[in-house]
Amino acid sequence: MASEEEFAYSAGELDDDEEEEEGVDWEDDIDWEQVNLSLADEDAETVTRKRRRPPIRLTKDQKQREKALHQTHLLILLATRIKWTQLSRSQLLRGLLVSLTATSDVDFVADMKLQPLSYSLELLVRCLMNVFFAREGQDYELAVLFAALCGALQLRYRLTCPLDPLLVERGKAFESSFRQRPNKRRRRAQKGAVFWLWCEVLDEKNQNWIHVDAVRRLVNRPQEVESQRGKAARLSYVVSIQDDGLVVDVTSRYTVQWSKSLELRLADSWLKQVIERLNDDTNMEKALVEEKEKLETLKLAEGMPTSLEGFRKHDMYVLERHLSHFECLHPRSVVGLFKGQSVFLREHVQPLRSAFKWRHLGREVKESERQKPAKWQARGNDTGKDSDGAAEEGKSNGSLALFGLWQTVEFEPPPMVDGRVPKNKYGNIEIWSPAHIPRGAVHLCLPRIDAIAESLGIDFAPAVVGFEVRNGRPMPKMSGVVVATSHEEMLLDAHAERQQQTIEKALAHNQKLVLRRWAKLTKRLLLRQRLEDDYGAVN
């Protein structure tokens, strides 16, 4: 039937002979001016729709301020949740909750030994919700009460909560969040904000933590938490606080896409340091080893992205096209294909630096690798040239040779020979870090120490600690001298004596100036008195 309709439609549409016979000119019946106006309006709407408000570009100081706000808010949220966990350890509160469950038909202590723990926890949640059939207050208070009840039943529990600090998205050119004025809709949303809080109970038989949300009656369904919060409330930080004060980051257990959550974790490494500092007073670090392995497995369980943009900031996979000029892949182990492009592991991405930059970090390029750099980079106005053979790093066409960590070894400074400091062809020595100081030498950063060493006839080398741009040209930055350790005490004594002489000379000069000014003032006063005696006082 469909084919007949199409055939009839086509026949009626393409029958030009009938139109010519009837003499109907259909082109004259169309108002082409109106059609052009309609098309112009559609184009204008499309252009208007595509226009977007440009993001607010922040300066470096403003970005640091935004990051500091993010970290501070994160710390405040964590401190509040720790207080709630301390509240769940109240013995009075636990006793009251146990008395409320005494009217239940289920003996929870005995039932948990016979039944699976997840089934017993479902009964416990149902019993608690039947007791509080009508309540006033916040949802998180019910989660704290359930945690206290678990503690009363001799269960190991944790209070788990998502932390949603002030956010500046890393991938969107740092658009300011504190500049937006809150409108009525935003104020109404803030008033109705919900603090998400749930429990984790340890199943000692399987050594697994069971997710229990008494507010929403969810048991052992951690993957539904993010969907319950909605698409706009993606999980960024989820921490569990144990009854003994141990803090664990369990974000990978509850997030659906770890790579998406990682984009929102602006303080990822900073939070790890905070958690390590909080866990210093506990002895549970060894017990967390197995759980950390499980959480890392959950991160790795996420598959490859399905879009090209998904690879750009993915935590595990990377495409070679997304590497920067100073990155390469080593080893080049292909783990998959995406639209004909090879996919590599993010952990195989290695940073590249010039031989000069590696010396700054206390490493030196191997002699066998100098002619085989990992990558050549076109070099423009390079202000960081080496003071000792920078031309060796580039080709004749001005390219810069870049090397990876595997092509370098730890830098070993040249030794002292007969108490003489090794120098380069410019007569100085490069001291980028304490590791660059030769054995048997010392770096003295004192004012005018070079003149004192020269006056005493001590061998020394001016220390180059960096480069600075002066009048558009890179110039070495000098700071102190490097001398043999055997001459250190002599130089320090001579410098102290020279400083004392300088101070005494400055005091004598200052006293001489004071006496000269007093003499000048006295002469002027005597002259004024003589003029008044001879000619009278001037009113």
Could you read off the pLDDT of 150-209 as tens digits, one per residue? 888 888 899 999 998 877 554 444 443 334 444 554 444 444 456 789 999 988 888 888
* 54-63: average pLDDT: 75
Q: CA geometry: angle at 385 spanning 380 and 388, to 5°? A: 150
Judged by DSSP in three states, 85 sits in helix
More confident residue, 224 or 174: 224
Of 94, 72, 125, 83, which is closest to residue 241 (Cα–Cα)? 83
pLDDT at res. 329: 92
What is the mean pLDDT of the segment spanning 91-96?
88
Q: How far apart are CA 452 and CA 502, in angstroms?
A: 13
pLDDT confidence of residue 54? 66
Positive or negative, the Cα torsion across 250, 252, 256, 261? positive
The one-letter code for the residue type at 2 is: A
Q: How do 473-484 and 441-444 pair as beta strands?
A: antiparallel
Residue 51 burial by Cβ neighbours in a 10 Å radius (0-12, 13-18, 19+): exposed
Better-predicted residue by pLDDT, 396 or 209: 209
Whole-model pTM: value is: 0.57
Asked whether the beta carbons of 75 and 274 are under 8 A apart, the reply is: yes
% of the chain beyond a pLDDT of 90: 15
pLDDT at 52 over 70: no
pLDDT for the residue numbered 189: 44
Tell me the chain's radius of gyration from C-alpha atoms: 38
Task: Collect all residues with Cβ–Cβ distance below 8 Å to 329 and sequence separation of at least 6.
Answer: 320, 323, 344, 348, 349, 350
Query: 119-123, 309-313, 535-539: which has the highest mean pLDDT?
Result: 119-123
pLDDT of residue 524: 95
Q: Quickly state the pLDDT bin for 509 (edges 50, 70, 90).
A: very high
Mean pLDDT over 23-46 rounds to 52
Q: How far apart are CA 457 and CA 287, in angstroms?
A: 63
Which alpha helices (DSSP H) does 51-179 contain, by range? 60-87, 91-100, 108-114, 117-131, 139-152
Q: Name the pLDDT band for 3 (thresholds 50, 70, 90).
A: very low
Residue 513 has pLDDT above 90, yes or no: yes
Residue 463 vs residue 112, higher pLDDT: 463
Q: Which long-range contacts (CB under 8 A, 24 or more apart) does 253-256 make?
A: 253/211, 253/222, 253/295, 253/298, 254/162, 254/211, 254/222, 254/223, 254/225, 254/226, 255/226, 256/223, 256/226, 256/227
For residue 49, name the pLDDT band (cuts at 50, 70, 90): low
Q: Which of 77-86, 295-304, 453-462 has the least mean pLDDT?
A: 295-304
Q: Are strands 349-351 and 341-345 parallel, antiparallel or unpaired?
A: unpaired
One-letter amino acid for residue 391 of the chain: A
Closest CA to 196 of 98, 121, 84: 84
User: Is 393 or 6 the better-scoring residue by pLDDT?
Assistant: 393
Domains and CATH numbers, the chain: 60-183+191-301 (3.10.620.30), 308-349 (no CATH), 352-378+394-410 (3.30.60), 415-538 (3.30.70.2460)
pLDDT in tens, 334-384: 888 888 889 998 889 999 999 988 888 888 899 888 888 988 888 655 444
Mean pLDDT of 54-80: 84
Report the pLDDT averaged over residues 122-129. 85
- From residue 50, how far is each of 44, 45, 57, 143 by CA, in Å? 10, 9, 20, 46
